[in-house]
Amino acid sequence: MVDLDVDLSTTRWSVAEAAEAARVSPNVVRNWVYRGRLEVAGSDYRGRPLYRAIDVIRAEKATRERARRIYSLQAA
C-alpha–C-alpha distance, residues 49 and 2, integer Å: 17
pLDDT at 8: 74
Number of domains in the chain: 1
Q: Does a structural domain hold residue 37?
A: yes
Q: Does a structural domain hold residue 47?
A: yes
Q: Does a structural domain hold residue 35?
A: yes
For residue 63, the domain's CATH number is 1.10.1660.10
Q: Model confidence over 35-66: pLDDT tens digits?
A: 999 999 999 999 999 999 999 999 999 888 87
pLDDT higher for 13 or 9? 13
pLDDT at 75: 56
Angle at 60 between CA 48 and CA 38, to 5 degrees: 40
Q: Does a structural domain hold residue 4?
A: no
Q: Does a structural domain hold residue 6?
A: no
- Domain with 58, as residue range(s), is 12-75
Burial 51-67 (b: 16+ CB within 10 A, else e): bbbebbeebbeebeeee
pLDDT higher for 76 or 4? 4
Q: Model confidence over 26-43: pLDDT tens digits?
A: 999 999 999 999 999 999
